[in-house]
Structure 1
Amino acid sequence: MSPHDTIDIDQLKKPYFVWFEEDWRHDDILHSHQKGQLVYVESGFQYITVDGKIYLLPQNHAAWIPPGAIHKTNSHSEKIKLMIMFADAEESSVFHHKINIFSVPPVLKEMIKYAEKWSKNISKDPNEILFLQALFNELPHFVEHSLKLHISLPEDKRLSKSIEYLHNHYREDVRMVDLSEISMLSLRTLERIFKKETGMTIAKYQQILRIIKSLELLNSGDHTISETAYKVGYKSVQSFTRSFRSVMQSRPTDFIKTTQ
């Protein structure tokens, strides 16, 4: 279920709107809102496509999606707990008009959980407005450093085959010469176009794919760190842990699903 199925968010005559679901279901359709939205993943993991980039939100992470951004959400988790907050964004606020993915600090987590009391409330509540105004005013300060955990969808069709190959063979040691042959581009041209379209090198792109997949496996609770490391293509737990920390600024153990 998604809020825009039953309520037209943009028609609400209030600056904020809170929506919480124990088991979130999405329609996976590109759409946009006049309001910005904060998406917090309490448990599970969530993919968000915003303006042609795919972002991953692991457990206890959030995304700020700016107003007007064309986006869609979908999840591979069997069950996902999401809190979504819609908010009017000031034109003068640079922060509120760009995408941000970040781990949620304890104070913000408690504020989000407290706001659950106003979930699906369509009437104006002065206390709700004051509380959420404080939350969104402080949001830029909560985001000390945003995770660059995203993969871009290239617009240049010359990269289609090489991107597809990377997604299907990310576990393997992909050779540049193979991608060059697949895309029928010279090595230099391939590297230049790939960096221009995705904002990263091919090696970095493959690393992000591996880490995203490892987060899915860790969150499932069915795999140990060692099993996860080998399943996503690393030759040792040590190399996996180093790679994971460089991307996530956290340890793999922080993302292992625990039974409640």
Structure 2
Amino acid sequence: APVAGAPMPAAPAGEEGQDAYGPVIYEPMNAIRRKTAEHLAHAWSSIPHVTHFDKADITELEEVRKRYAKKMEAAGGRLTLICFVLKVLVEAFRRFPKFNATVDLEHQRLVLKRYCHIGVAVDTPAGLVVPVLRDVDKKSILELAVALPALAEKARARKLALEDMQGGGFTVTNLGGLGGTGFTPIINAPEVAILGMSRSAMEPVYRDNAFLPRLMLPLSLSYDHRVIDGADAARFLRFVAEALENPWAMWMEKGNMP
């Protein structure tokens, strides 16, 4: 994903022209942009979206990430926050299986996935693509730290095959590198939910009779209200937030450290 402070995109290439108010440039939409526009317009118009917001205190998690980042780099990986989010989602799906699912309108049913394939939105020069990271539940943190950058690079190099973008049951989109305090991501139909991550920031949090500086991560969960109720969405996102605040406890309880 692009980082904050990245240079502005170059001026669009297109045909110069004139409208009723002044000079313009007519920029044709490329194939990826046309397909994205069609897919998102259909999703937005056909799915009753609701977005639930929450925050996770990732102060301790960020210390862990920094502690192991160099070891991951030496092993050929890049330890980012989304690696931990993906591992937490695996456990969240076990407890809330409706979120790892797709809608089958033809047969009027919800298809609950017993596998864990998660789409990760990637910003490329050609437009937004969502390659799918397969078998997240079977991958360690190190394996995710290696697989994610490789998948993103494959997307930016326009080397994704059609099957690389199929089979997902949930999507994560991360705008934290660019800024912002929250957004309302559009569901990647036929999936039923998508998780958005915004930029983490230090905030004063009242705890033990004092305000303490804590690193807070804004989270945005858009969900399909036809099949997911608001209370379930709130429970799901609160579980994700609390697991990010203390993920090691969850994994130790399962006896399965990543």
Which structure shows the higher helix fraction? 1
Could you say whether these structures have the same fold, taking a TM-score greater than 0.5 normalized by the shorter chain as the test?
no
Which structure shows the higher strand fraction? 2
Give the TM-score normalised by the residue count of structure 1: 0.28
